[in-house]
Copies of this chain bind each other. A is one copy, B any other.
């Protein structure tokens, strides 16, 4: 008998029929003697509908009241899920985030969990209940309702699993687990049996949107082992956990392709202290999130210049161009080049730490199909390259074939 925390996303509870399916799955675990805490998101579409109502009143509704409004989505979903379980004879009880002891700070719409005091959840589990908890929400010590921002329900599940010292945390979603690549692009992509927190974090930040980074970070911090699996079948999913020795045998865990970025190159920047800081401070002040930054050695004398390239979200490109252009006089650079036609291709794996020649093997694969590399950036467990968007998907397949199959 284990204590299991399960989390079901909005798609999994997207209709009364699907809520009944979730109830059937939970009931199955319950009958096998497990203690269950079930975290549920709002039915898909509900949150957007509520946001639209608020925006119909005013474009910038107050975040405190927006949280009160949005929290009703999960509250409805837990009530309906508990009712569905009771209807098939399972003693279920629904708790809001506040009732389940999720205490947060007061930063509305993106609150951080301060602590979890799961006394009530423990009591209810011990009296034989299946406890259904509203994801995505909490309460400040002063009693104000808060929400946790994007991916908040995953965070609720992981935080509860940590606080309850759960044996298992299952994140149910609409995919079978974490894949070595996006199967729509790389038909050979395989589902992974396991992956380390760090690899999962790199994949998440590279656009493989199975889970938000913060939930994985939280799990890593508190050592919560969790499984990502599908709510539409019974296939085993992917276990996410601290890296083990055996994981290092695999050099590349996954290949990720991000086509949502744009590239900006500032040509002929005078190479003197403070210039890079000036550029990226200006971008940060404009709330533009910069991803990769590449600066090569400078050349020329007596006043050496360099080129600085960086990538940003495509949506931010016009704003970034405006910001950089206003700096032209001050910085005295030669030219600003921007393009949207790029793809960022990355390979991720903790095995890279102990294997050599990984980068060379990747670059060779790209060369084989005539792909030119624009930018390169590496971390301890990741290599990213920026390439032409037109060849990006073919490149993903080729790199996947070279490392994984």
A41-83 interface bits toward B, Cβ cutoff 8 Å, 1 = contact, 0 = none: 0000000001001101110011011101101100110111011
Interface flag for A103 (CB, 8 Å): no
Q: Is the CB of A143 within 8 A of B80?
A: no
Interface flag for A305 (CB, 8 Å): no
Which of chain B's residues have a CB closer than 8 A to the CB of A58?
83-84, 86-87
Q: Number of A residues whose C-beta is below 8 Å from B?
A: 36
Cα–Cα, bound, A165→B334 (Å)? 73
Q: Is the CB of B86 within 8 A of A62?
A: yes
Q: Is the CB of B80 within 8 A of A93?
A: no
Which of chain B's residues have a CB closer than 8 A to the CB of A56?
16
Q: Is the CB of A19 within 8 A of B57?
A: yes
Q: Is the CB of A65 within 8 A of B50?
A: no
Interface flag for A188 (CB, 8 Å): no
Interface flag for A180 (CB, 8 Å): no
Which of chain B's residues have a CB closer than 8 A to the CB of A57?
16, 19-20, 80, 83-84, 87
Q: Is the CB of B94 within 8 A of A79?
A: no
Distance to closest chain B CB from A145 (angstroms): 8
Beyond A65-B80, A68-B75, 11 additional pairs, beta carbon < 8 A: A19-B57, A54-B83, A57-B80, A57-B83, A64-B94, A65-B82, A65-B93, A65-B94, A69-B83, A99-B143, A99-B144
What are 26 residue pairs bridging A and B, where the CB atoms are less than 8 Å apart in the complex? A16-B53, A16-B56, A19-B57, A20-B57, A50-B76, A54-B80, A57-B80, A57-B83, A57-B84, A58-B83, A61-B83, A61-B86, A62-B86, A65-B80, A65-B83, A65-B86, A65-B94, A68-B75, A68-B79, A69-B75, A72-B76, A72-B79, A75-B75, A96-B145, A99-B143, A120-B143
